[in-house]
Chain A
């Protein structure tokens, strides 16, 4: 019976060899994939086990981790609530989702290479490693003024400091409460997330920098005007055709003015006046005169097409590559396929306000370690030169006129010179137009530039009753809040 016993030992060897292979497959070959699975609680637990850094506005935390009595050790809370939801993003079972939580996950969680040296010293000093905190550029007064003025309407409002690029406010409506996504009850979080994700109003999308971009409408005339002035062929008092409807070559349709009114006597107007009353036909004419390249180059100098991260990724705004004459005329007034983010529109105003220089927008002022010492401080950085200071001064003058005499009157502030531009962007024939306003103040010493869009809030028949009446007061509230008294 000995030889079958020996053969049996081969069977045993085979059985155990199989087990060595199967355990190796799991613990060596597939280990990485297994750890990366979103439903892997161990990975989650180890990331929950470390205190995550705070997100601070001034001295106030809008996101912070508090000790939890359960196995997760830390609970992420959002004292800033929905008002700052799109800035903070959320930190949930699904990992760091959207906003700064996602964009600066490495710093907040403490795993970033920038913190490597600190981790080593933590190891030797026995200090518990925790993530870095972020101090934001947000001015809570401006942020709250924007939220209050938007009053729950769908849309977005952004404010930047023109001379530094610091983002002072960034609001996107509708919002959401990040706390519902950061809880420790997986089922509840899943339900809340699915609800928000399925909501047709897309509350999870940060409209200020992402999502489906907006047609800019007449606020794009800032770019067209800048291109015109920069070309040297036009001055603010240059005479332009301003018929009720501009004939477009190669088509049977024209480019009509809002309300189908002529822009001046004998269908003539000046560049300044065209800006003031937002005359489509004059700007359509300008677009065709300047050509697609000039228009696109000018837009690019304001940052259109740039891949920006603030540090969240900003969806690049765009002017179409191929434009024939009628498309060019429509693009010059911010229609056709021109698409922008509210942040980009704020950068139009900020560039004009900052003597033609566009600063790189950013949201994080400084990175702080857990003992609040500064690890990294953001320096203002020039993004591009959009116009010469002279052109910027002319544009400022024209935008001041818009608020003083034209469609932007609702944004007037007593005792402060406000520069602005209204916009009423048609999306399709059925829906109401998007109401835009962008501007800065004080015009002689710009401290804050803003952009506001209210979705389907505008009146397509009147720029003053559209972008001016709807967007103007919101911009006014933000400008007032941001002005240093």
Chain B
């Protein structure tokens, strides 16, 4: 049991402030670095971009102090740093194309960042307790599935580069799958908290696995069919893997039963195998994955090969920001932003980036452990795991661990829908962690973990 007096000084906001200053400092230095490397001078846009970035961060931090004072102090700095580095790389690629700030993509990314951070701030202000979301479980479910199938609606959906995961609304194109990720996590958490008893207790033991009853198989079969539907109809292996993986992981956390995981992996395997048998676009992806440098694959697409050669040219320490040629790869600023970084900051820099994600996910899982309610635990672990899985799908895709898919790297990749979704995700994690680390408001409620264990840096 903790006492209120020992917690009062350990909210972590000063740690957060220090880390935020550090994050903004790195981003500004990287921005200057790019300007000097590409154009030979400190970019004149530094003041505008830097102050814009600084203002967003400062406002966010102040709102944190006001509305989520006990939240985990690492999550916001990590998200800020990743978002900022993404901006730097997008700006760097603009420069390579000869675009200045006004006509390039970096300014739009900055505006989207502001919008997304604004949405996250609004969520923190409006949503005082994450448990409220539980009330909207089935609404979230309907919304999530709706968003997922939206690109299939004729006239609205947009097929781009082989995948049908965009919708077009006037001048804007949007990837509803990104938002669906967050909304579905809310649905899964709410649904599984309700049904976990039925799913985890009943069943027969066969070969050491407690297999679920047939009537409990419904949800996983629905989720599976939906994933396979996404894979086949939207031709998007990444989203398919992400949603199904998210569901299975949350199901496992809710029920603690390995049989669900085994069943899930088996189902997913079968789905992929059948899809590979039946659909040429899946076969094409598999060919590109297994035999990237073959004549046949290169004739289909040399994007993956180019990305890999870019990473190769970066080597251990990279060419230096602004000194490589990441612009030679298509979608260097979105799907292939990781090879872009790999080329310019090298293997060492890429490791640092990946470790930032590891830290972010770890803080999310830590939040889940600290959360005092089942819904919060499930939601936090689901959100954190979705970030890990998405990183794996994206980086694994460009480094040939799995077939290449069209997902974005959270916070780094260019794209508004991705930023909106991931900043919302961060807001939810912050809200849950604030709740988890808050001094026990109700003496009757047991605290599973002493919240001061989550502290990484001690500040007096």
A residues at B contact (CB < 8 Å): 1-6, 8-9, 11-13, 15-16, 18-20, 22-28, 30-31, 33-35, 37, 39-43, 45
Given contact pairs A15-B391, A26-B308, enumerate 20 new A-B contacts (beta carbons under 8 Å).
A1-B368, A3-B256, A4-B256, A5-B365, A8-B249, A9-B362, A9-B365, A12-B358, A15-B388, A16-B392, A18-B392, A22-B395, A22-B399, A23-B311, A23-B347, A23-B395, A30-B312, A31-B316, A34-B308, A42-B309
27 contacts between A and B (CB under 8 A): A1-B253, A1-B256, A1-B381, A2-B369, A2-B449, A3-B256, A4-B256, A5-B253, A6-B369, A8-B252, A8-B381, A9-B362, A12-B385, A18-B392, A19-B392, A20-B354, A23-B342, A26-B399, A27-B312, A27-B316, A34-B308, A34-B309, A40-B313, A41-B309, A41-B328, A42-B310, A45-B325
Q: Is the interface of A mostly helix, strand, loop or mixed?
A: helix
Across-interface contacts of A22 in B (CB, < 8 A): 395-396, 399-401
What's the tally of chain B residues with a CB closer than 8 Å to chain A? Answer: 51
A101 to B425, CA, bound (A): 58
Q: In the bound complex, do residue B377 and residue A18 qualify as a contact, i.e. CB atoms below 8 Å apart?
A: no
Instruction: Flag B337-352 by CB within 8 Å of A: 1 or 0 each.
Output: 0000010001100110
Task: Tell me, in angstroms, the Cα distance from A31 to B317 when the chains sit together.
Answer: 12
Q: Is B361 at the interface (CB under 8 A from chain A)?
A: yes
Kindly state the separation between the CA atoms of A39 and B384 in the bound complex, as whole angstroms: 40
Min distance, Cβ B408 to any Cβ of chain A, angstroms: 16
B104 proximal to A (CB < 8 A): no
A22 to B399, alpha carbons, bound, how many Å? 6
* B332 smallest CB distance to A (angstroms): 13
Residue pair A5, B351 in contact (C-beta under 8 Å): no
The docked-state distance in angstroms from the alpha carbon of A33 to that of B313 is 10
CB distance from A5 to the nearest CB of B (A): 5
Contacts of B385 in A (CB 8 A): 8, 11-12
* Interface check B374, CB cutoff 8 A: yes
Most buried by B among A3, A12, A20, A28: A12
Q: Find the A residue at minimum CB distance from B370.
A: A2
CA distance A18 to B354 in the complex (A): 11
Assess the B316–A28 pair: CB atoms within 8 A: yes
CB neighbours of B346 from chain A (8 A): 27
Contact call B351/A35, Cβ cutoff below 8 A: no
Please determine whether B309 and A19 come into contact, CB atoms closer than 8 angstroms. no
Interface pairs A-B: 7 shortest CB-CB:
A34-B312, A22-B399, A27-B347, A15-B392, A12-B388, A31-B312, A42-B313
B252 shortest CB reach to chain A, Å: 6
- The smallest C-beta distance from B163 to any residue of chain A, in angstroms, reads 22
Q: Which A residues are in CB contact (< 8 Å) with B199?
A: none
Give the interface centre of A16, A27, A37, A43 by most chain B CB atoms within 10 Å: A27
Residues of B contacting A34 in the complex (Cβ-Cβ under 8 angstroms): 308-309, 311-313
CB-CB under 8 A from A30, the residues of chain B are 312
* A187 to B: closest C-beta gap in Å: 13
Instruction: Confirm or deny: B269 has a beta carbon within 8 angstroms of a beta carbon on chain A.
Output: no
- Shortest beta-carbon distance, B380 to chain A, in Å? 9
- Chain B residues whose CB sits within 8 angstroms of the CB of A33 once the complex forms: 312
Indicate whether A42 sits within 8 Å of B325 (C-beta atoms), given known contacts A8-B249, A26-B308, A27-B312.
Answer: yes
B residues near A37, Cβ cutoff 8 Å: 293, 309
Is B314 an interface position by the 8 A CB rule? yes
Knowing A15-B392, A22-B401, A27-B314, say if A8 contacts B377 (CB, 8 Å): no
Which of chain B's residues 351-372 have a Cβ closer than 8 Å to chain A? 351, 354, 357-358, 361-362, 365, 368-369
Tell me the bound Cα distance from A253 to B358 in angstroms: 87
Question: Is A5 touching B358 in the complex (CB atoms < 8 A)?
Answer: no
Q: Which residues of A contact B118 (CB under 8 A)?
A: none
- B371 CB to nearest A CB, Å: 9
On whether the beta carbons of B350 and A16 are closer than 8 Å, the reply is: no
Q: Which of A9, A11, A28 contacts B347 (CB 8 A)?
A: A28
Minimum CB–CB distance for B349 against chain A, Å? 10
Contact A26 B365 (CB under 8 A): no
Q: How far is the CB of A337 from chain B (nearest CB, A)?
A: 40
- Whether B328 pairs with A1 at a CB distance below 8 angstroms is no
Do B315 and A28 have beta carbons less than 8 Å apart? yes
Q: Are A27 and B350 CB-contacts (below 8 A) given A12-B388, A15-B388? A: yes
Distance in Å from the Cβ of B418 to the closest Cβ of chain A? Answer: 19
Task: Determine whether the beta carbon of B401 is less than 8 Å from that of A19.
Answer: yes
Q: Is the CB of A12 within 8 A of B313?
A: no
Whose C-beta in chain B lies nearest to the C-beta of A32?
B312
Cβ–Cβ contact B357 & A15, under 8 A: no
Query: Among the interface residues B256, B298, B342, B389, which one has the most CB atoms of the partner chain A within 10 A?
Result: B256
Q: Contact partner of A23 among B351, B369, B378, CB < 8 A?
A: B351
Q: Which residues of A are found within 8 Å of B146, using beta-carbon distances? A: none
State whether B369 touches A26 (Cβ < 8 A): no
Q: A12-B385, A42-B313, A43-B313 are in contact. Are A2 and B448 (CB under 8 A)?
A: yes
State whether A16 touches B358 (Cβ < 8 A).
yes
Q: Is the CB of A19 within 8 A of B354?
A: yes
Q: Is the CB of A40 within 8 A of B309?
A: yes
B282 CB within 8 Å of chain A: no
Contact indicator A19/B399 (Cβ below 8 Å)? yes
Within 8 A of A (CB), among B257-298: 293, 298
CA distance A33 to B342 in the complex (A): 17
With a cutoff of 8 Å between Cβ atoms, the chain B residues found around residue A20 in the complex are 351, 354
Q: Does B254 contact A (CB under 8 A)?
A: yes
Q: A3-B256, A19-B401 are in contact. Are A27 and B311 (CB under 8 A)?
A: yes
A34 to B312, CA, bound (A): 6
Residues of B within 8 A of A25 (CB): 399
Contacts of A24 on B, CB cut-off 8 Å? 347
- Nearest CB to that of A15 among chain B residues? B392
B328 contacts across to A, CB distance below 8 A: 41-42, 45
Known: A1-B374, A8-B252. A18 touches B401 (CB 8 A): yes
A9 to B368, CA, bound (A): 11
A9–B380 Cα distance when bound, in Å, is 13
**For residue A42, which residues in chain B have a CB less than 8 angstroms away from its CB?**
309-310, 313, 324-325, 328
Q: Tell me the nearest residue of chain B to A43, going by C-beta.
A: B313
Contact partners of A8 in chain B: CB under 8 A: 249, 252-253, 365, 381, 385
Closest to B317 in A: A27
**Which among A3, A6, A16 is the interface contact of B388 at CB below 8 angstroms?**
A16
CA distance A25 to B448 in the complex (A): 42
The answer for the CA separation of A413 and B252 in the assembled complex, in Å, is: 100
* Closest beta carbon of chain A to B247's beta carbon, Å: 13
Contact of B254 among A1, A16, A41 (CB under 8 A): A1
In the bound complex, residues from chain A placing their C-beta under 8 Å from that of B388 are: 11-12, 15-16
Chain B residues lying within 8 Å of A23, measured Cβ to Cβ, are 311, 342, 347, 350-351, 354, 395, 399
**By the criterion CB–CB under 8 Å, are A5 and B347 in contact?**
no
Given contact pairs A15-B392, A27-B342, A34-B313, A1 touches B378 in the complex (Cβ within 8 A): yes
Whole-angstrom CA separation of A393 from B351 in the bound complex: 77
Q: How far is the CB of B173 from chain A (nearest CB, A)?
A: 29
User: What residues on B are CB-neighbors of A13 within 8 Å?
Assistant: 358
What is the minimal beta-carbon distance from B433 to any residue of chain A, in angstroms? 14
Q: How far is the CA of A37 from the CA of B350 in the complex (A)?
A: 23
- Cβ < 8 Å to A, chain B residues 236-255: 249, 252-254
Which chain A positions have C-beta within 8 A of B256? Answer: 1, 3-4
How far is it, in angstroms, between the C-alpha of A16 and the C-alpha of B378 when the chains are bound? 21
Which residues in A have their C-beta under 8 angstroms from that of B400? Answer: 22, 26
Distance between B67 CB and nearest chain A CB, rounded to angstroms: 26
Distance in Å from the Cβ of A8 to the closest Cβ of chain B?
A: 6
- Within the assembled complex, what's the spacing in Å between the Cα atoms of A26 and B324? 16
Q: Which residues of A contact B448 (CB under 8 A)?
A: 2
Task: Tell me which residues across on chain B come within 8 A of A6, comparing CB atoms.
Answer: 369
